[in-house]
């Protein structure tokens, strides 16, 4: 009876604990289609933290890419440079935009070219060892958002 009670308590705690991934909302997710002969591209999205705590993204992954990372574009002395970002902390209630010319996801060593109309999954790896995967549509250019 005691073992069963412990099992029920453990199951209750596990099902009521909400992971950080439940508190991130990914929207407007898209990846730029690869130009002919290129095996790398970038992904963009809006990521909103709807929790009361800071959520930290420590990495990204995608099955179609041999190497995936967060990057940022910086302009210094009229030159644009990209550099990896080790982690991205999103404050409670904050929305972060991954967009061309700013923070973005780099997908390198692609297993195949990405073409307009495809959809790929990209996973955000979180500090608490949780992850959040979302479908990113592939497009040559960002499609205008449709509003009602």
Total domains in the chain come to: 1
The CATH number of whichever domain residue 121 belongs to comes to: 2.60.40.1890
Length of the chain: 148
Whether 14 is covered by a domain: the verdict is: no
- Map residue 22 onto helix, strand or coil: helix
CA distance 71 to 42: 9
30 inside domain: yes
- Is residue 111 in some structural domain? yes
- Report, as an integer, the average pLDDT of 142-148: 48
Residue 57, domain member (yes or no): yes
**Is residue 51, in this structure, part of any structural domain at all?**
yes
Give pLDDT, residue 7.
46
Task: Tell me which residue has tokens 């930290």.
Answer: 56
Residue 1 lies in a domain: no
Q: What is the pLDDT of residues 2-30, one digit of tens each?
A: 545 444 444 444 433 457 888 999 999 99
Tell me the H-state helices in 17-147. none
As a whole number of angstroms, the distance between CA 46 and CA 27 comes to 5
Residue 77 lies in a domain: yes
Cβ count near 36 (within 10 Å): 5
Query: Whole-model pTM?
Result: 0.81
pLDDT greater at residue 10 or residue 115: 115
pLDDT at 86: 94
Residue 17's pLDDT is 44
Q: Which domain holds residue 48?
A: 20-139
């Amino acid at each position: 009876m005691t073992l069963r009670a412990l099992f029920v308590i453990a199951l209750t705690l596990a099902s009521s604990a909400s992971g950080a991934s439940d508190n991130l909302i990914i929207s407007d997710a898209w990846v730029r289609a690869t130009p002919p002969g290129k095996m790398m591209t970038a992904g963009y999205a809006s990521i909103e933290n709807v929790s009361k705590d800071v959520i930290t993204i420590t990495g990204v992954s995608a099955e179609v890419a041999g190497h995936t990372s967060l990057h940022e574009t910086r302009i210094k002395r009229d030159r644009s440079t990209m550099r990896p970002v080790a982690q991205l902390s999103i404050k409670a209630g904050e929305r972060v935009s991954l967009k061309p010319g700013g923070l973005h996801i780099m997908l390198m060593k692609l297993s195949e070219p990405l073409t307009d109309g495809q959809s790929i999954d990209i996973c955000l790896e979180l500090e608490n060892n949780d992850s959040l995967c979302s479908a990113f549509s592939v497009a040559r250019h960002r499609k205008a958002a449709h509003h009602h």
